[in-house]
């Protein structure tokens, strides 16, 4: 009897051990797997998943773990994309800052150079006059004085242009936006420059359509634009050439074109023609420019809501065009309303 009881106890103990071992395996292994997966996830292995096909609580835990890992990976990738985008934006901004700073340094060095050239010339001729006035002829003295006068004029023009340009670009130049007749401004310009054209035996003409809507702009500034373009056209055209100004109506703008039969501009120079201080030494043309005229033209036209462009055929001539907004028809019906904007 005792023996039987002992066998039964041993069998029960063995069974309990077996059940315990099996239970430990079925729970312990997946728990260890979960612990291992959590560690791998915390070390950055975001693609790691638990491979457990169970429908009990441990299976649910594994599914939740996998879902958490998946959403963690998605947010991490989203964050990574955002960081990449922000880094690219920051790089663009830095590039722009360095471009602006480069432009600024170039501008300062260009301005210094442009100021120094006439000043050196003035100083040289003034010293010659002072030191050698008894040794040089009256004609030579006059020549020195004339050069001093011309170089001073160049200096004044340069400073005026620089001031204008900085006002336009800083938005502190007061530009009217009132309706005005471009025909009148073009007539005034052509009339004023007729003498200059006549002296060079250049035919200067103006052609306008029968009707043209008023444009919205500033009379003095537009006069400046036209003066610059027509003056350049005469300057870079040989005697007996032609310069013509034409006005035409586009859909919402009025287009002005200044044609000349002058020296023309090469394609590589044409690309930079509106840049500040861009200046080409043209044989036979007196070196009196500052290379700021066309950049002022562009700044004024763009400030008034128009566009500038240039085409040219070297040796044959050039065409400089600009557009300005026309007064809308409904505003014309309502009557004239003079407006201006002051910025800065």
Instruction: Write out the residues near ligand ADP by the rule CB under 6 A.
Output: 232-233, 236, 260, 262-263, 265, 273, 278-280, 282, 289-294, 318
Using the minimum distance from each CB to ligand ADP, give the nearer residue, 294 or 304. Answer: 294
- CB nearer to ligand ADP: pick between 107 and 278: 278
DSSP class of residue 106? H
Adjacent-strand bridge partners of 207:
246
Smallest distance, Å, CB 83 to ligand ADP?
A: 45
Closest residue by Cα to residue 151 from 128, 127, 123, 131: 123
**CB of 252: closest distance to ligand ADP in angstroms?**
27
Cα radius of gyration (the chain): 41
Helix, strand or coil, per DSSP, at residue 204: strand
Query: Least separation, in Å, of the C-beta of 306 and ligand ADP?
Result: 18
Residue number, nearest CB to ligand ADP: 289
Map residue 134 onto helix, strand or coil. Answer: coil
Do the Cβ atoms of 231 and 193 come closer than 8 Å? yes
Per DSSP, 233 falls in state H
User: 117 or 141, CB closer to ligand ADP?
Assistant: 117
Work out how close the CB of 309 gets to ligand ADP at its nearest, in angstroms, rounded to a whole number: 13
d(CA 101, CA 62) in angstroms, rounded, equals 57
Beta-strand pair 253-260/308-313: unpaired
What gap in Å lies between CA 85 and CA 79, rounded to an integer? Answer: 10
Shortest Å, Cβ 313 to ligand ADP: 11
Q: Report d(CA 48, CA 41) in Å as an integer.
A: 7
* Residue closer to ligand ADP, measured from CB, 214 or 262: 262
CB of residue 291 to ligand ADP, shortest distance in Å: 5
**In this complex, which beta carbon is closest to ligand ADP, that of residue 65 or of residue 236?**
236
Question: Three-class SS of residue 173?
Answer: coil
Nearer to ligand ADP, 180 or 296 (CB): 296
């Amino acid at each position: 009897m005792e023996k039987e009881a002992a066998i039964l106890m041993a069998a029960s103990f063995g069974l309990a051990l077996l059940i315990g071992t099996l239970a430990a395996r079925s729970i312990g292994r997946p728990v260890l797997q979960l612990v291992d997966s959590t560690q791998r996830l915390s070390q950055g292995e975001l693609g790691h998943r638990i491979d457990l096909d169970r429908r009990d609580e441990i299976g649910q835990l594994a599914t939740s773990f996998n879902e958490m890992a998946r959403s963690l990976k998605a947010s991490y990738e989203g964050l990574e994309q955002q960081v990449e985008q922000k880094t690219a934006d920051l790089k663009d901004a830095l590039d722009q800052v360095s471009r602006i700073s480069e432009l600024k340094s170039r501008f300062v060095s260009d301005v210094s150079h442009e100021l120094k050239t006439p000043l050196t010339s003035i100083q040289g001729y003034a010293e010659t006059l002072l030191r050698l006035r008894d040794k040089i002829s009256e004609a030579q003295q006059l020549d020195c004085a004339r050069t001093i006068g011309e170089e001073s004029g160049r200096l004044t023009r340069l400073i005026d242009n620089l001031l204008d340009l900085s006002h336009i670009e800083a938005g502190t130049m007061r530009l009217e936006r009132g309706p005005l007749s471009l025909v009148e401004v073009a007539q005034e310009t052509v009339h004023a420059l007729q003498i200059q054209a006549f002296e060079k035996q250049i035919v200067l003409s103006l052609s306008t359509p029968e009707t043209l809507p008023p444009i919205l702009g500033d009379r003095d500034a537009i006069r400046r634009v036209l003066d610059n373009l027509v003056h350049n056209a005469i300057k870079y055209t040989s005697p007996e050439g032609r310069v013509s100004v034409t006005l035409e109506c586009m859909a919402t703008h009025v287009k002005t074109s200044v044609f000349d039969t002058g020296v023309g501009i090469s394609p590589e120079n044409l690309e930079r023609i509106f840049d500040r201080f861009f200046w080409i030494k043209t044989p036979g043309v007196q070196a009196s420019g500052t290379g700021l005229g066309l950049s002022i033209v562009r700044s004024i036209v763009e400030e008034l809501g128009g566009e500038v462009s240039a085409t040219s055929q070297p040796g044959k001539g050039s065409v400089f065009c600009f557009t300005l907004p026309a007064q809308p028809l409904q505003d014309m019906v309502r009557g004239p309303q003079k407006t201006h904007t002051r910025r800065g």
